Amino acid sequence: MTQSTFRAGEVLEMAVQIERQGVKFYETCLRTELPEKIKQVFQFLLDQEHQHIQTFQEMRQDLSDHELPESYAGETESYMQSFVKDEVFQSPNEAVEKAAGITDVSEAIEYGLKIENRSIDFYQHIKGVVPKSEREAIDGVIFQEKGHIKRLESLRKEISEK
């Protein structure tokens, strides 16, 4: 397959898939044996992922549908899934291991910040493969992710003041 230029709508669909990976990751974290304070951080992050799925779906509806030509049914979806796979979140098994290794709430917040920064890096990279006319939509995704970081930093500050 030759390198395709993604449309903003396709990148927003990738964003939804990444957020769904985040939902799976944080749900897995919440099912592990962790102190309640750490679980509260993961619940906050899970709630944020759900909000972002809704936001990105709404942004996607505002864009015109553009489909890449496919040589077989589902090719574009398959390509996008392989493109985002493991770009931001680990598998659920790795999530359990990572969550089990987190020993305090500050570490949980730091890990959340790392995930959000990886997401932003991914979207910054993707911005280079969409038409210039659609980069504003990708900037919207990045803005949303930066909002996650601000909320986590506020949470970190709040916890450190206690």
Contact 52, 146 (CB under 8 A): no
CB atoms within 10 A of CB 58: 10
pLDDT of residue 146: 93
| pTM for the predicted model, two decimal places | 0.71
**pLDDT number for residue 3:** 46
Half-sphere exposure of 60 (CA within 13 A, CB side): 16
3 is a domain residue: no
Among 59, 67, 61, which residue's Cα sits nearest to residue 137? 59
DSSP string, 52-119: HHHHHHHHHHTSPP-----SSTTHHHHHHHHHHTTTS---HHHHHHHHHH--SHHHHHHHHHHHHHHH
Residue 63 lies in a domain: yes
- Give 162: exposed, middle or buried? Use CB within 10 Å, 0-12, 13-18, 19+: exposed
pLDDT for position 76 = 58
Tokens of 48: 């944020």
102 assigned to some structural domain: yes
What is the domain extent for residue 123? Answer: 8-160
CATH code of residue 62: 1.20.1260
Sign of dihedral through CA atoms 147, 55, 30, 102? Answer: negative
pLDDT of residue 1: 41
Q: Which residues touch 159 (CB under 8 Å, ≥6 apart)?
A: 37, 105, 106, 109
The parts of the chain modelled with pLDDT lower than 70 are 1-6, 62-72, 74-93, 95-96
Q: Is residue 2 part of a domain?
A: no
The Cα 38–Cα 28 span in angstroms is 13
- pLDDT attached to residue 5: 59
Q: Count structural domains, the chain.
A: 1
Residue 37 falls inside a structural domain? yes
Is there a domain that residue 43 lies in?
Answer: yes
